[in-house]
Amino acid sequence: MQTEVLKYGHFYHIYYRGVDSCDLFFEPDNYKHFLGLYDKHISPVADTYVWVLMPNHFHLLVRVKEEKEIGYIPIKPLSGYKTAERVDGVERIRDERGNIPSAVFHPDGGFMPKKYNPVIQFSHLLNAYAQAFNKRFERTGSLFQHPYKRKPIDNARYFKIMVLYIHNNPVHHGFCSHPVEYPWSSYLTCISVKPTKLQRDPVIGWFNNLAEFKLLHNEKMNIEKIDKWLGLGE
């Protein structure tokens, strides 16, 4: 599977694994903390349709927002920024440590905020979680295997397959007998009526209705065949 940039307006199945298949989550608070960071870093740049967090890996089905849908990073206070360098005709302010604030300064005056970048936001998510995880469990070094895998999803048939595949991952790996029994996936949100940021209505729409959604989740899937198609080799 080729690694590519995340294109605006495109759907992706994104897969991350712990380095050397190490566990990423040991306790419920780990899952909860990750989801909080995910909302903070990914919601500004992507809509989430389906997800599952497994002990040593996780799967996402997301749509990267169109560039016009993505907002701007809040401008940080600029006190302490003393030096500047010119890049493509624009002065970028740096502090004494070489950090650049979330804005660029134009020579004619005024600051222009920068937009969130989808690839950078995923990097922020991984780094923030890895730092918290390493501190919590007194470990050092990388936590996530690189490069992560991402596959464009542009076929209507595979939207449904990806939903079923992701929700059935806990069943395949022996953590439960049905997706409804597993707490760390979007399945329970999909069958709920509570308000959510998850793109629940489009997901149910791919199955025509909730009854068919539930019915197809009751059927056994050939996970190994899909793994091979995705190039995951789990």
Q: pLDDT tens, 137-171?
A: 999 999 999 878 888 988 778 899 999 999 999 99
Euclidean distance between CA atoms 104 and 73, whole angstroms: 12
Domain 11-69+117-230 has CATH 3.30.70.20: no
Residue ranges of alpha helices (H) inside the chain are 28-42, 118-136, 156-167, 169-172, 187-190, 200-206, 210-217, 223-230
Euclidean distance between CA atoms 16 and 164, whole angstroms: 18
Token look-up 């989801």 returns 35
Confidence of residue 224 (pLDDT cuts 50, 70, 90): confident
For residue 80, is pLDDT > 60?
no
Joined tokens for residue 61: 């089905």
More confident residue, 84 or 75: 75
Which tens digit of pLDDT belongs to each residue from 185-215?
Answer: 999 999 999 999 999 999 999 999 999 999 9
Which tens digit of pLDDT belongs to each residue from 42-69?
Answer: 999 999 999 999 999 999 999 999 999 9
Paired strand residues for 152: 12
pLDDT at 234: 47
CA angle 73, 76, 81 (to 5 degrees): 130
Joined tokens for residue 205: 């729409």
Euclidean distance between CA atoms 157 and 48, whole angstroms: 18
**Mean pLDDT over the full length of the chain:** 85
| Domain chopping of the chain, boundaries | 11-69+117-230, 81-113
pTM: predicted TM-score of the whole model, two decimal places: 0.82
